[in-house]
Structure 1
């Protein structure tokens, strides 16, 4: 991989230049193997602001992004870019419309973490419902009383509600059913009364009123931002737990804190947060009824390697004139360049 010292210089003979805008992974060996097989130059941009990124990515044919924002201004500063690949499922940091207008293909990896995220959602649901973290802290503090954690219920006879029945939501539903939950789902794309992956689809309001576990599996869009707010939490039964492994912005965290403090919700299991990393003094961190993890539901050794390989391979395929496995705006592959 090119070092930051020569990041702005194309390696002689390289057929394509791919710049990783930012990445906190411990190694880029997987990405480098994909690039080497394609005869591509792979560059990791140095840390810094927008100006430093533009300088490092000068002459880039493709970008790979983790957290960096890709917008019209960045694309206009890098007119040679033909593909943007994002590490992950969501592309809320990428302006897909601006990319499409400029003939830039946007690729993600929509199914790499299906098993890992659904595993984590189930783990959070059980931990919050059984108040495992609260009990753990009690044992460590030398207390083992029952009264503090009551009520705790068994799975049998409980309802597990899945909001968003895409790949991860469907996998979570399958695992919840295997544990003995009755599973229902809500999805704005699906007609209430229909059945998808063995799950009966109901209106969101019905799911919120009935479910003992509400597990969120929707992308962050303008229509889903604040999907679960004060009005929605007012519908939820007090013995329910809320699980979020999708995006922090889907839940109004202030409204969630109020519901938990007032005993209108049994607990919550949150892997994603409106502000990441979650500040240590955030009100959620002070609540014993909340189980928190640091946006790592996607991680397993298996999913980690797959994510890295496929992210770069998608970009390589676009630059090589092949249709990638995953592309959000396929029309640009047939409509020519800017």
Structure 2
């Protein structure tokens, strides 16, 4: 029986890796550049599997594609996929949860250091013809300060190991992990208010949920230290960027390093013109090695699903269990 895998959208140079894997399993690969549910439906009629980068996979998609067995997301988050609708339609959803832990942890540290040492501002000043160390004042010694984490999964764990040589203390807010677990990985568990009060820098690593949307808002920024820095490599919606801009203007915190924004690419924003904000284009996940791992892992998992094998990274395991013969 022939199977069809549709790549709904991608910004890779090509999909030859996916094509080779599919052909080796007797499956056909088709591609599109869909940006709406309607375009996904048109591109994927009769498909057994979807590989999705950014395209929205909504209830309407599942209604219209009754042959669909699995949706594979190129990435950790499955925000673009209506997982509840997938489950209701008996469609498996897979992601790639661990392909870029080293890259994201390194990038978060890079943003932190760029903010603390005022690297971007110095670079801009020099390129404008100004050679003056005083333009970056004040800069404080990093050693002995406290690095806080909002969310404490694999990436923060790697960060704790990587920054150990900087002499930083680590505190973490994560309501889903015990104090013993967090302590065993080099940090002290604290409540959210204490995180805001104690941390000299906070690195955000929470998923985007109803609980975390706008977690860092005007109230949070008022509690943070005026000398503190916020780094976000998680999801843009966790930070209220309008409130962040207001807080920076009011001197309620010292700077921010953001790899993710609520709108990507960003709409006009006061953050874009600030010297105390370092921005990168949702690139923390990227290295040549991680992108190959991402694509290979996602493709192999959807191929497992369409031949009845259990995928390695199944987001909604109840679907597999309910469709597997006893």
Question: Is 1:217 aligned to residue 205 of structure 2?
Answer: yes
Q: What's the secondary structure of 2:196's corresponding residue? A: helix
Between the aligned partners of 1:47 and 1:68, the Cα distance in structure 2 is 6
CA deviations on 1:266-291 (whole Å, 9 max, x unpaired) are: 11000000110123x42101110000
Sort the Cα spacing of 1:206 and 1:268 in 2 relative to 1 into closer, same or farther, 3 A: same
Question: Is 1:241 aligned to residue 226 of structure 2?
Answer: no
Does structure 1 conserve the Cα–Cα contact (< 8 Å) formed by 2:68 and 2:91? yes
Does structure 1 conserve the Cα–Cα contact (< 8 Å) formed by 2:245 and 2:271? yes
CA deviations on 1:273-312 (whole Å, 9 max, x unpaired) are: 0110123x42101110000000000001110100010111
Q: What's the secondary structure of 1:234's corresponding residue? A: helix
Partner in structure 2 of residue 299 of structure 1? 286
- Matched ranges for 1:1-338 at <5 A: 15-47=2-34, 49-192=36-179, 195-279=183-267, 281-336=268-323
| Residue ranges of structure 2 left out of the alignment (5+ in a row) | none
Q: What's the secondary structure of 1:223's corresponding residue? A: coil
Q: What's the secondary structure of 1:195's corresponding residue? A: helix
| Residue ranges of structure 1 left out of the alignment (5+ in a row) | 1-13
Q: CA RMSD in A?
A: 1.5
Q: How high is the TM-score relative to the length of structure 1? A: 0.92
Does structure 2 conserve the Cα–Cα contact (< 8 Å) formed by 1:177 and 1:183? no
CA deviations on 1:46-75 (whole Å, 9 max, x unpaired) are: 446443331220110011111111111111
Shift of residue 196, structure 1, vs aligned partner: 4.1
Between the aligned partners of 2:193 and 2:33, the Cα distance in structure 1 is 47
Shift of residue 143, structure 1, vs aligned partner: 1.1
From the two aligned structures, give the one with the greater helix fraction.
2
Between the aligned partners of 1:109 and 1:50, the Cα distance in structure 2 is 22
Between the aligned partners of 1:196 and 1:226, the Cα distance in structure 2 is 29
Does structure 2 conserve the Cα–Cα contact (< 8 Å) formed by 1:162 and 1:173? no
Shift of residue 122, structure 1, vs aligned partner: 0.2
Q: What's the secondary structure of 2:136's corresponding residue? A: coil
Q: How many residues align?
A: 323
Q: What's the secondary structure of 2:72's corresponding residue? A: strand
Between the aligned partners of 1:175 and 1:90, the Cα distance in structure 2 is 24
Between the aligned partners of 1:267 and 1:176, the Cα distance in structure 2 is 19
Moved more, 302-311 or 197-206: 197-206
Between the aligned partners of 2:156 and 2:301, the Cα distance in structure 1 is 24
Does structure 1 conserve the Cα–Cα contact (< 8 Å) formed by 2:10 and 2:33? no
Shift of residue 106, structure 1, vs aligned partner: 0.6
Q: How high is the TM-score relative to the length of structure 2? A: 0.95
CA deviations on 1:10-42 (whole Å, 9 max, x unpaired) are: xxxx62111111111112122112212211111
Q: What's the secondary structure of 1:148's corresponding residue? A: helix
Does structure 2 conserve the Cα–Cα contact (< 8 Å) formed by 1:176 and 1:183? no
